[in-house]
Structure 1
Amino acid sequence: MSGFSIFDKTSSLHSIYVTLMVNRIQMLYFVIILPVFLIYPYMIWVIILVGFLSQMSIFLLSKWFNSIYASKGYEGFAELLGERSVRVLAFIGLGLILLKITVITLGYVEITQHFIFPSLNTNWMILFILLICWYVGSLGMAPTIRFVVIAFLSTAWMVLLLVNFLFQPSNTIHDLFPLVPFDWTIESWKGVLFIFSALSGPEYLVLLAPWFNTRKKILKYMTIGNAFTIFEYLFLFIASLFFFGPHYLKEIRFPMMEVMRYMESPVFERIDMILISFYLINFVFAISIFILLFYGASRITLKKSKEQTTKSGFAFCCSIVFICLFINNELFWKEATNQNILLELEIWAGALTYILIPLFLFTSLKRKGRV
């Protein structure tokens, strides 16, 4: 099949795209189940504190964006770390990227089946989503990055629909107590880990540096995206506390979706079905980006990074992703215990990559005297 420039870098995108990407990548499957993992009202302060920790990681990432290596892409990584080390890291990255694709895809599919298509085989939904992502990704990295604008405009406004739930007559300020933990348990530590993992994702943007105008206040734009995410998490968590109360919240499987089911409209009977459908746009954007990164990491691992990209090669990578999703869906995700294992793995993997990748790149730049 004829070659095509899927990783074309002729255009330099404005840094505002970084803001939108940081925010939308942080607002995936974890935000939907976040209240279940937090439960306790004092986690409001934990969200804020972990948000500052997330900002530290973003600060370290900005050092990479402003380095002389960032705009060189693969060549920059090879110059800084060595080609063999880059290949090893790319091989490890394949597993991490595949795990993230698996959790966010199967998570969204489960929600869709639960609220919209209870009798539909989830494998068909997986195939449908991946076909869309294959099309979006095949347009190239630059158009896929630009797609974040559509993803943001299609989903960011949803948080405003919950404003009404903050001012219900049944709400009481006691639902937000205690704001100070009297007994810090292992579940509290898991909540901290979950929040930090939920905020992960921006670390993968270092791989997209050649497509951005990286030297124009990149830290400012990344900070805005991270701050907006923290605001959304706080808003959604407080709204769920008011709606369910801290004691009943832990019994709900998908709190945010259940809240949306209570929304009323003179036109549409099931607003939640419309919102879930709209939210697919954000998942398509994120999955498309990760599939492109998976394809790029595969080429680096196989020493084909300097060869022309091909449609057949990209389609083959998408096929591998689908097979892995199909296997995980049949053998793991449908079983609650095994599903929790995959979720736990992604929680730990997301937290570790978000703290280790920025720290590793910053340390490498420091050794080279480029910071």
Structure 2
Amino acid sequence: MIQLLLRTLLLERQPRPAAPSAYRQTLLELPLRLLQQGGGDGPLLELLPQLQQALQADHACLLLPQRTGPGWRALGERAACADCPEHAGELPLPGVVQLCRGCLQQGRFQALCGLQQEEGRSALLLVGFSGRPGIGQRNQLRDIARRLGEVLQAFAEDRRLRRRELSAERGVLARELHDSVAQQLGYLQIRSARLQSVLGDTRQAEVMLDDLRDTLRSVHRQVRELISSSRLTMDGRTLRQALEASVAEFARSSSCVFSLDNRLPGNCLPADSELQVLQIVREALANVVRHSHARQVRIRLWPTASGLEVEVCDDGIGLPEDLPDSGHFGLSIMRERAAAIGAELSVEALPKRSGTRVHLRWSRP
């Protein structure tokens, strides 16, 4: 009985398992929250203060690879991290925690923790301490980095699979449009021309046939544009290369003289926004070639303090005074693409009917 009582007292004095801390629960929910928010940074930004509190640190910062091109994308207190990755020397491997030598020489204690690599590119978790972190803090940071790295790598793989599936779906759509609708419309155009020769010179029939032919030609062109749009990707090119190729393409198929002034630095846009900007510029150029009777076309892209601006101007006949808000296929497509990336689009006639200006303004979220 005494032995049983002593055993019971010893068991009661042993520490019970602590309830999961806030950051552990957030890490468990992180994959689902990233998927729900489409890969937005909100869930990661909520996690960083929890990590800072759990580690008893001064600040925490997450450095992720830019979505396109070299360089870092910083989340959290980037100012507190200063130039740490640049003077830290060799960056730590995934799962390795080390103190930045450059910061130590300046009397700062900055822990760099390597995360799982995304497509061969490193990510870092930077945590600043008021003093040298202890063994317990290092072990906890190593465990956090392992869990966080696994989530980021899994989500990056999911993004790659989704991009691949989307590209495959666009290819299927393009083939279906080409093999069915486009061919049938081409056949109807031929039949309408044959019908005109059979009916002779009846005036009413001529008017109806002209309308039929114009409508079919317009629908046929729009379907071709959809096929081209569904096939269009960056295909490994930079935005600069894709724009230059597009301008050269339109120059070969028209008598317009094009000038391209692109002052955007590389990798200033997310990949999905780059494709939408390219599509908007291409649609604007297509409208110029089809409708404006322009001789000169100027395309300009330049950075701003908050994002970028794009402008396509021509010296054509300008816009009609009664242009409706809807009913124009090209304009509605451009507006939808601008809205998809949170950009502002305006289409306006230049003074004295001296042409048309398409203006796109995009601000970083």
Q: What interval of TM-score do these two structures reach, taking the shorter chain for normalisation?
A: under 0.3
- The structure that is strand-richer by fraction is 2
- The structure that is helix-richer by fraction is 1
Highest RCO, 1 vs 2 (Cα 8 Å, sep ≥ 6)? 1
TM (normalized to structure 2)? Answer: 0.23
